[in-house]
């Protein structure tokens, strides 16, 4: 009797999260240049958020790829926002809402496969420079498990004395001309390291290079030549502002900006610092953009640009007087709306997509663009259909969560907000982009509100050790951490 030969083909062992330890399923997987910007709102030339904004390098990146003009963050604060992007999970799943804890200190994310880890397990060389993860969110002894190379993340330079004596004396709450020379800036050093890495990349592997710029996060510093690119302070255009804007806004909204170091608009006016801050924000943004340009130029010089997927995004926006506040951590457009640009193979040139997009979508989009095996458990949705056709349908809205139990739903036309006490806001973004008229009290919109409320997150666990404090209201009395407070205290 003839012998029977049985051949068994054993597939590659799957790493955590279902990732093959081999390279992607396409023959020549593209590289990834992953650019993170800190606190940049839509004051970008190609987004038109401010008429004087100068961002030529972000603009040229948008021209060579696709701009998502309606992209929003999962959380309007750096740590929970970055945690969401890098894990592919919403704040309600990670339990991270504040500046602490980091993702490796939270049970739901301790063993999750982060975005750089997923690419490493598919055969990529990975490196990071600058602020990509939130500072200190990954302990030094664990950094080697996130990237092959965890490079320097320099802090912002500080003068010997603050230029602006803000109500909160912390050193970071400052703006002005500093330092004298650009190479002293943190973002210059980060760009230097990224450029060097592009020159010395491994020849036998695709690369995943993460580059994190700190500006225009405060302190808003730039050398004189970047300030000189803008008109004098008395010619700086202020953002659109309505004096009684908050008359129809729920009082609970003040809670999201209470006990924060950023000054109120009332103080900026009294101190004659409003235009100075706007000019410094614009100048520091333009300097950051110049460093992004250095990295793009180095990629072009490397010969790898045609086979590199580039994604550039900001972790949250920033108010500069709108709604009477400066800073972030609101559920309004100025705080949630950020740049999101893709370029490279598989991406349409000069595309502009108005469909709502979330930063949470970055993880699955990169996985698909690079031909990697599908990652299970991600809560975002790939943007590849819109990268091919900017008019492709997209049924999901963009959902933003600010602290536990406060959420925003953003579609192409509407923004719906529900706060922890049940109060609401509704804005028609097509004819009220400044969000000056809250329609939530009009019964004609009750049906729409019920439809939008369907998207509100259901699960809101809180991670142990979270820097999260509670404001409650009982029988008309407000309590902060269990102690009664006066309403006017929230507005100060």
* SS3 call for 53: coil
Q: What sections of 341-401 are H helices per DSSP?
A: 362-369, 384-388
> Could you give phi then psi for residue 362, rounded to 5 degrees?
-65, -45
CA 453 to chain centre: 24
Own/partner pairs, 160-169, CB within 8 angstroms, 24+ separation? 164/271, 164/273, 164/276, 166/261, 166/263, 166/267, 167/263, 167/267, 168/261, 168/262, 168/263
Element (H, E) at 275: helix 274-302
Told to judge if 78 belongs to the known catalytic residues of this protein, a careful annotator would answer yes
Using alpha carbons, list the distances in angstroms from residue 331 to 252, 337, 406, 447. 12, 10, 8, 22
Q: Could you tell me which residues come within 8 angstroms of residue 309 by beta carbon, excluding any fewer than 6 positions away?
A: 30, 31, 32, 33, 342, 343, 344, 345, 346, 347, 366, 369, 370
Q: Indicate the DSSP class of residue 395.
A: -
What tokens were used for 20? 């093959």
CA distance 269 to 388: 46
CA distance 206 to 276: 44
Told to judge if 370 belongs to the known catalytic residues of this protein, a careful annotator would answer no
Kindly report the CA angle at 150 between 310 and 170, in degrees rounded to 5?
Answer: 95
Kindly give the pairing relationship between strand 357-358 and strand 71-72: parallel
CA distance 13 to 18: 9
Bond preceding residue 101 cis, omega within 30 of 0: yes
Kindly give the pairing relationship between strand 340-343 and strand 308-314: antiparallel
Q: Which one of the listed residues 134, 217, 257, 337 is annotated catalytic?
A: 134
Other C-beta atoms within 10 Å of 318: how many?
28
Q: Could you tell me which residues come within 8 angstroms of residue 434 by beta carbon, excluding any fewer than 6 positions away?
A: 240, 242, 322, 333
What tokens were used for 469? 């404090």
Q: Which one of the listed residues 46, 72, 78, 112 is annotated catalytic?
A: 78
Q: Indicate the DSSP class of residue 202.
A: -
The residues that bridge with 320 in the sheet, in sequence order, are: 326
Kindly report the CA angle at 46 between 41 and 51, in degrees rounded to 5?
Answer: 75
CA distance 330 to 295: 32
Catalytic residues: 78, 134
């Amino acid at each position: 009797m003839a012998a029977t030969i049985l051949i068994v083909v054993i597939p590659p062992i799957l790493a955590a999260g279902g990732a093959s330890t081999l390279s992607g399923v396409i023959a020549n997987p593209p590289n990834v240049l992953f650019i993170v910007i800190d606190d940049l709102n839509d004051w970008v030339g190609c987004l038109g958020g401010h008429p004087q904004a100068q961002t030529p390098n972000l603009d040229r990146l948008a021209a060579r790829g696709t701009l998502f003009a309606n992209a929003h963050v999962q959380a309007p604060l750096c740590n929970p926002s970055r945690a969401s992007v890098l894990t592919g999970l919403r704040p309600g799943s990670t339990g991270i809402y504040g500046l602490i804890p980091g993702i490796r200190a939270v049970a739901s994310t301790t063993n999750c496969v982060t975005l750089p880890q997923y690419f490493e397990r598919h055969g990529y060389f990975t490196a990071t420079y600058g602020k990509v993860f939130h500072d200190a969110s990954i302990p030094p002894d664990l950094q080697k498990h996130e990237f092959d190379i965890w490079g320097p993340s320099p802090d912002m330079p500080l003068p010997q004395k603050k230029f602006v004596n803000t109500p909160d004396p912390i050193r970071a709450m400052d703006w002005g001309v500093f330092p004298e020379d650009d190479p002293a800036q943190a973002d210059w050093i980060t760009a230097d390291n990224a450029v060097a890495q592009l020159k010395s990349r491994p020849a036998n592997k695709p690369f995943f290079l993460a580059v994190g710029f700190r500006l225009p996060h405060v302190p808003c510093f730039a050398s004189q030549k970047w300030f000189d690119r803008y008109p004098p302070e008395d010619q700086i255009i202020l953002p659109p502002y309505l004096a009684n804007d908050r008359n129809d806004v729920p009082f609970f909204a003040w809670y999201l900006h209470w006990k924060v170091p950023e000054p109120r608009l009332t103080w900026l006016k009294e101190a004659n610092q409003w235009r100075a801050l706007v000019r410094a924000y614009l100048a520091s943004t333009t300097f950051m953009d110049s460093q992004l340009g250095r990295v793009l130029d180095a990629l072009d010089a490397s010969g790898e640009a045609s086979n590199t997927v580039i994604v550039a995004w900001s972790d949250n926006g920033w108010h500069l007087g709108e709604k009477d506040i400066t800073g972030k951590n609101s559920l309004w457009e100025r705080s949630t709306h950020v740049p999101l640009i893709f370029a490279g193979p598989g991406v349409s040139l000069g595309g502009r997509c108005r469909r709502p997009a979330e930063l949470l979508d970055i993880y699955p989009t990169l996985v698909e663009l690079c031909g990697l095996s599908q990652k299970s458990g991600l809560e975002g949705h790939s943007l590849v259909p819109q990268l091919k056709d900017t008019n492709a349908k997209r049924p999901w809205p963009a959902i933003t969560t600010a602290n536990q139990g406060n959420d925003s739903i953003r579609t192409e036309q509407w923004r719906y907000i529900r706060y922890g006490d049940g109060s609401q806001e509704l804005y028609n973004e097509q004819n009220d982009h400044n969000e000056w008229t809250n329609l939530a009290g009009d019964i004609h919109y009750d049906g729409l509100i019920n439809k939008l409320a369907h998207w509100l997150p259901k699960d809101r666990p809180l991670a142990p050790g979270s820097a999260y404090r509670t404001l409650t209201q009982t029988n008309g009395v407000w309590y902060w951490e269990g102690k009664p407070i006066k309403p006017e205290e929230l507005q100060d």
